[in-house]
Amino acid sequence: MKYFPIFFDLWAQKVLVVGGGEVALRKVVLLEQSGAAITLVAPEILPELRERAAAGKIQVHIREFLPADLSGARLVIVATSRRAVNRWIAALSEARAIPVNVVDDREASRFIVPAIVDRDPVLAAISTSGTSPVLARRLRERLEAAIPKNIGALASWLRSLRHIARRRLHGIDERRRFFETLVDGPAARHFVGGDVRGAQRIAQQLLAGTSAAPHASGEVTLVGAGPGDPELLTLKALRALQDADVILHDRLVPQAVLDMARRDAAQICVGKAAGGIGSTQEEINALLIEHALLGKRVVRLKGGDPFIFGRGGEELEALLDARISFSVIPGVTAAAGCAAYAGIPLTHRDHAHSVTFVTAHADKDGPEPDWQALAKPGITAVFYMGLARVEHIAARLMAHGASAALPAAVVAQGTLPSQRVITGTLATIAAVTAGSNVESPALLVVGEVVSLQRRLAWFESAEPLDVSQSA
């Protein structure tokens, strides 16, 4: 280990910054948050630094650096534009055993400054020991996404419970178990999810029940997995996947999304046509309830959005009857994902003022869509459907007055590398689709907006768009 990581309490400690430009300003802004007593020396300084001095926030000497400036300093940060001067100041600091950092000159520095994720009081610091600042930045971005925004507030809340825990719970072990239960269990999840009251209620129950506190009860989170591209998961969905004990997922959820789940989470495919367990809705409901009653954190992962043709509502009703607590994390629905990746704006001031999502899966006894309304001009209709339904839908729309020349597109395997977009008109779309041997899942988009597709398509799918040539 070339660098030893520490967190330095600089409150009211003198920190010397030499330099008055952008770089020095950035360091000052960061240092200010630590409550350090900042002294800055430079012959010329930015207005922002001047304002800080005028407000009494930092001490500024507008002149060249003098060795006497070092006296009493706990840390020195050097950021002048002259390398020789920087090195001279570094050498003087070294001789006085004051830790020094020369910005962008690792060799002359005694310490380096990490990339940080700031969730005060929680702080994650990342360093590649100066080998690759770009890599450090990328790691930081990942942690930014992975660490809940309010984890700092969670830490403060936990600290605020220390006092009462000491009074109510005797013995170190009991207190440790109490805090472990809070951090690992539903309390922290409720807190991070924004439900501070729920978290408080759980903490109170645990304190009241002392060591005999009931074990965390299970709960179900209905999670939208998006249309296919795993990067379209929301941050909340990712967190739920990484917290899950059990994941019940649809067949449509791609492997790449499942790969983001906690390694030891049980994954159960309950796809309707999978022929496996839980093929009927009743069986799925029963599985959800069964695992939740075992005290598990259950994620019910659905393609797209759980509340759009996903039977999310039905599953929640079953959970409600079984008195199991639940929450819902929305996802990018197939219509939104496919339209975006195909280059079809679902609304457009010149072409469509509303959009309708229609399910047109073959269901003999199901109610027919309102064809009359869907055939009206000036709207976009998106049909969630089996591929075999394209002909039927186009025919019904034309029979209800839609123009045979109305543009239409089939988007198959949208947002995935295998995405295919087939365009035509109501008169031609069924034949073109049939001749293109695309594979489900697929959507049909009907409306003037489809005419924009040719110009707005941006997503390079891995496969050629036209396979009719390549037999």
List the catalytic residues. 250, 272
Among 415, 423, 433, 453, binds ligand SAH (CB under 6 A): 415
Nearest approach, Cβ of 339 to ligand SAH (angstroms)? 10
Q: Does residue 443 touch ligand SAH according to CB under 6 A?
A: yes
Q: Which is nearer to ligand SAH, 109 or 415 (CB)?
A: 415
Q: In angstroms, give the least distance from the CB of 227 to ligand SAH.
A: 4
- Listed as own residue / partner, the contacts of 119-127 with beta carbons closer than 8 Å and 24 or more positions apart are 119/147, 119/148, 119/149, 119/150, 119/151, 119/152, 119/155, 120/33, 120/152, 121/152, 121/155, 121/156, 122/147, 122/151, 122/152, 122/155, 123/7, 125/5, 125/7, 127/3, 127/5
Q: Which member of 148, 278, 407, 441 binds ligand SAH (CB under 6 A)?
A: 441
Interface with ligand SAH (CB under 6 A), residue from 86, 109, 413, 425: 413
Q: Which stretch binds ligand SAH (CB under 6 A): 97-105, 107-115, 303-311, 460-468?
A: 303-311
Which C-beta is closer to ligand SAH: that of 299 or that of 385? 385
Residues whose CB falls within 8 Å of the CB of residue 358, separated by 6 or more in sequence, listed in order: 369, 374, 381, 382, 383, 384
Q: Alpha-carbon distance 410 to 387, whole Å?
A: 9
Interacting span for ligand SAH (CB under 6 A) from 58-66, 192-200, 307-315, 393-401: 307-315
- Distance CA(83)–CA(93), nearest Å, equals 15
Question: Is 253 a residue that touches ligand SAH (CB under 6 A)?
Answer: no
In the complex, minimum distance from the CB of residue 357 to ligand SAH, in angstroms, rounded to a whole number: 8
Dist CA 136 CA 74 (whole Å): 26
Q: Dihedral of the CA atoms 338, 355, 448, 353 (nearest 10)?
A: -130
Residue 80 CA: distances (Å) to CA of 67, 76, 84: 15, 12, 10
Judged by DSSP in three states, 424 sits in strand
- Write out the two tokens for 371: 């064809």
- Long-range contacts made by residues 259-264, C-beta under 8 angstroms, separation at least 24? 259/230, 260/230, 260/233, 261/299
Q: Does 182 bind ligand SAH (CB under 6 A)?
A: no
| Residue 339 makes contact with ligand SAH by CB under 6 A | no
Strands 407-412 and 420-425, bridge-based pairing? antiparallel
442 binds ligand SAH (CB under 6 A): yes
Cα–Cα distance measured from residue 36 to residue 195, given in angstroms and rounded to the nearest whole number: 35
Shortest approach of ligand SAH to residue 19 CB, angstroms?
53
Q: Please, what is the minimum distance in Å from the beta carbon of residue 5 to ligand SAH?
A: 44
Min. distance of Cβ 226 from ligand SAH in angstroms? 8
Binding flag, residue 333, ligand SAH (CB under 6 A): yes
With CB atoms as reference, the residue minimizing the distance to ligand SAH is 304
Q: Is residue 228 at the binding interface for ligand SAH, with CB under 6 A as the rule?
A: yes
252 lies in the binding site for ligand SAH (CB under 6 A): yes
CB atoms within 10 A of CB 416: 20
How many residues bind ligand SAH (CB under 6 A)? The answer is: 23
Q: Is 338 in the site for ligand SAH (CB under 6 A)?
A: yes
Choices 78-86, 99-107, 429-437, 438-446; region in contact with ligand SAH by CB under 6 A = 438-446
Q: Which of 25-33, 140-148, 191-199, 299-307 is the region at the interface with ligand SAH (rule: CB under 6 A)?
A: 299-307
Near ligand SAH in 371-390, by CB under 6 A: 384-385
Q: Which two tokens stand for residue 335?
A: 């219509």
Assess contact for 339 and 445: CB atoms under 8 A: yes
Rounded least distance, CB 348 to ligand SAH, Å: 21
Stretch near ligand SAH under the rule CB under 6 A, chosen from 8-16, 116-124, 389-397, 409-417: 409-417
The beta strand positions in 307-453, using DSSP E, are: 325-329, 354-359, 379-385, 407-412, 420-425, 442-446
For residue 270, which of 249, 247, 243, 244 has the smallest C-alpha distance?
A: 249
Single-letter code of the amino acid located at 130: G
Which residues of this protein are in contact with ligand SAH, per CB under 6 A? 227-228, 252, 302-305, 308-310, 333-334, 338, 384-385, 411-415, 441-443
